[in-house]
């Protein structure tokens, strides 16, 4: 792997922001109470709560995104109930059947841009009350989506209204939520997310942390007894201080959003250059994930020096690749990638 100039495979190949390492070293010998009751976790919760004023939300820290999704969905649903997701949703294609392993079906709706829409959900209403069918009870979204697209306030408001009419929970996977909230054209705030969803997460793993996700439980039914589910699923860390300290640092002076904005900006440098070279995109670029469509021979040449995903074939001669920038990606490496692309 050392032969690669740079990894564009994901946004968690680097370790973490220096502020976190510094804080971990400075506090290493300070004793703290365990299981998320430490001073650092309390400070982090307070900082996050300020961004969603008016909600008596429960805020928890867990180790990763799959664990966050599994615990929330398993805690929310009865054995015969299902969760609805886009076919590209992380719980469908990237978590080794973690949700199904808890006994809950993932119902899939097709999308072209990674977004769930009300018109895709409406046909599932016919299953309600039919004892021969699983009963949809939760809608799962990710923002940004797995295709790097971003929900607008109008879109999320429509989904929220539909779910509340049906009595369904709305859960937003925010593994890349900081990237969504700092994307060009975004009109949502964290307060909006709190108002329109029943539970959501905020990623640390993909936003400058060593690891970890924030879980924000808004709906009273989901908050009730949730701590027991965390413990039962192995999500309650004795050294919760390690998670709390990271998010204290990430939410200090809005660092997490600064880092996400940087990742988005570096991606846009590459997107603009790709557009000038005449390459189309699978979906319009707006965040730190890009999906340019390139000739396969060009992809093979780039793959000699850069690590990235070949996302999907387009035709016999072309495929879409995924390029992901991170909080640590420099403009110099983006520029170098473009130079390499121009020279193949």
Predicted local confidence at residue 55, as pLDDT: 83
Query: Which regions in the chain score pLDDT beneath 70?
Result: 1-2
Q: Taking the CB of residue 96, how many other CB atoms lie within 10 A of it?
A: 9
Predicted local confidence at residue 56, as pLDDT: 85
314-318: long-range contacts, CB 8 A cutoff, minimum separation 24: 314/282, 318/293, 318/294
Q: Distance between terminal CA atoms of the chain? A: 21
Q: Which residues of 292-328 are buried (b: 16+ CB within 10 A; e: fewer)?
A: bbbebebbebbeeebbbeebeeeeeebbbbbbbbbbb
Q: Which CATH architecture has domain 6-12+255-343?
A: Alpha-Beta Complex (3.90)
Tell me the three state secondary structure of residue 266: helix
Matching fold, domains 6-12+255-343 and 18-250: no
The Cα–Cα gap between 208 and 329 comes to 11
- The domain segmentation of the chain, as residue ranges, is 6-12+255-343, 18-250
- The fold of the 18-250 domain, in CATH, is 3.40.640
316: left (phi over 0), alpha (psi -120 to 50) or beta: alpha
The Cα–Cα gap between 3 and 18 comes to 26
Q: Rounded to 5 degrees, what angle do the CA atoms 15, 4, 182 make? A: 50
**Omega before 333 within 30 of 0, i.e. cis:** no
Predicted local confidence at residue 2, as pLDDT: 58
Residue 140, beta-bridge partner list: 171
Structure confidence by residue, pLDDT tens digits, 121-151: 999 999 999 999 999 999 999 999 999 999 9
């Amino acid at each position: 792997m050392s032969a690669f100039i740079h990894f564009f495979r994901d946004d968690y190949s680097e370790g973490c922001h220096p502020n976190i390492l510094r804080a971990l070293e400075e506090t290493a010998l300070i004793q703290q109470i365990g299981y998320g009751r430490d001073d650092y976790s309390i400070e982090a919760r307070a900082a996050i709560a300020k961004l969603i004023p008016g909600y008596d939300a429960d805020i928890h820290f867990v180790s990763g995104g799959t664990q966050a999704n599994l615990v929330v969905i398993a805690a929310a649903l009865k054995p015969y109930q299902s969760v609805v997701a886009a076919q590209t949703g992380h719980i469908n294609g990237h978590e080794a059947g973690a949700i199904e392993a808890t006994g809950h079906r993932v119902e899939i709706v097709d999308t072209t841009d990674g977004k769930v829409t009300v018109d895709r959900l409406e046909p599932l209403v016919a299953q309600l009350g039919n004892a021969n069918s699983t009963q949809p009870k939760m809608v799962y979204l990710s923002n940004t989506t797995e295709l790097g697209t971003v929900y607008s306030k109008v879109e999320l408001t429509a989904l929220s209204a539909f779910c509340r009419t049906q009595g369904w929970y709305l859960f937003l996977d925010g593994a890349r939520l900081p990237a969504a909230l700092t994307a060009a054209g975004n009109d949502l705030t964290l307060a909006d997310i709190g108002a329109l969803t029943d539970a959501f997460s905020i990623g640390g793993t993909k936003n400058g942390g060593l690891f970890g996700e924030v879980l924000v439980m808004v709906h009273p039914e989901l908050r009730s007894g949730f701590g027991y589910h965390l413990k039962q699923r192995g999500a309650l860390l004795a050294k919760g201080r390690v998670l709390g300290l990271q998010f204290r640092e990430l939410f200090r002076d809005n660092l997490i959003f600064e880092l996400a904005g940087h990742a988005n900006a570096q991606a846009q440098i590459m997107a603009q250059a790709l557009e000038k070279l005449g390459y189309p995109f699978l979906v319009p670029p707006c965040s730190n994930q890009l999906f340019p469509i390139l000739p396969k021979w060009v992809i093979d040449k780039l793959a000699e020096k850069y690590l990235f995903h070949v996302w999907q074939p387009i035709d016999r001669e072309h495929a879409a690749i995924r390029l992901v920038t991170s909080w640590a990606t420099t403009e110099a490496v983006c520029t170098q990638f473009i130079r390499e692309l121009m020279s193949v």
